[in-house]
Amino acid sequence: MLRKWLTLLITAWLLLGCNDKATNHANVTVEGVDANEQNAIKSVILNGKNPPKEYRELAWKKLKCSDAISQRIGKRAVFIAHRFQEKQIYGGEVTREAIFFIGNDKPSKIIDFDVKTAFSAFLATPSIQEIFAPSIWDLKRLYELFPTSANDASAKETIKDFIYSIKRFAKEDQSYLDQAISTANTPMSIANNTALFIVMRLFPELLEELLFGEITYKGKYY
């Protein structure tokens, strides 16, 4: 009798598990990301240094900048925004969104923070402002402009000018800025600041899309 009940319980658990999995999959939003790309990113998440106890995919989106950047650099460059829910070992559930880059190798996570908040903090940080002081850019002024850039075309263009100008700097200046930013006195946000600068340096189209939801820049630093 006990064996019969155990069999029924296990069967019910398996069926419920299958139903839940099917429901979760049915609720996933996918925009332009194929199964191979999804599986490659899942592998990075589930086999990383600190894999989640549980993982549930929520949304996949190939960013528009992928095609623009691939065309500019002449190599495959796919940027995918992935939103997912995970349960950590301590039991808490959290919803995350990260940006993954796929080139010719396995995917790499390049952004896992709120970009608008981090970019505003980047502009507002005194040590970062000091680093850029010898350049043409006044980061204090950019910080003041940024909140208005969503509705003010002139402010938006100025912010985009700054973002795209970084890749026009001499390699020596880029290397100096990279080193200075990575060692600046910003212990709470040094990783975010470094990631933002690398994105500006290599993929300004990505930052433009994440900040403004568009890739329309054709300004003087294009």
Residue 118 · residue 192 · CB < 8 Å: yes
pTM: 0.85
Closest CA to 32 of 99, 81, 91: 81
Give 71-93 pLDDT, tens digit per residue: 999 999 999 999 999 987 776 78
pLDDT at 186: 76
Least confident stretch, 52-56, 116-120, 157-161, 172-176: 52-56
Q: Is the pLDDT of residue 65 over 60?
A: yes
pLDDT at position 14 over 70: no
CA–CA separation, 62 vs 81, rounded Å? Answer: 6
Which amino acid would we find at residue 83? R
Using one digit for the tens of pLDDT, what is the confidence trace for 88-147? 777 678 999 999 999 988 999 999 999 999 999 999 999 999 999 999 999 999 999 999
Do 42 and 57 contact (CB within 8 A), yes or no? yes
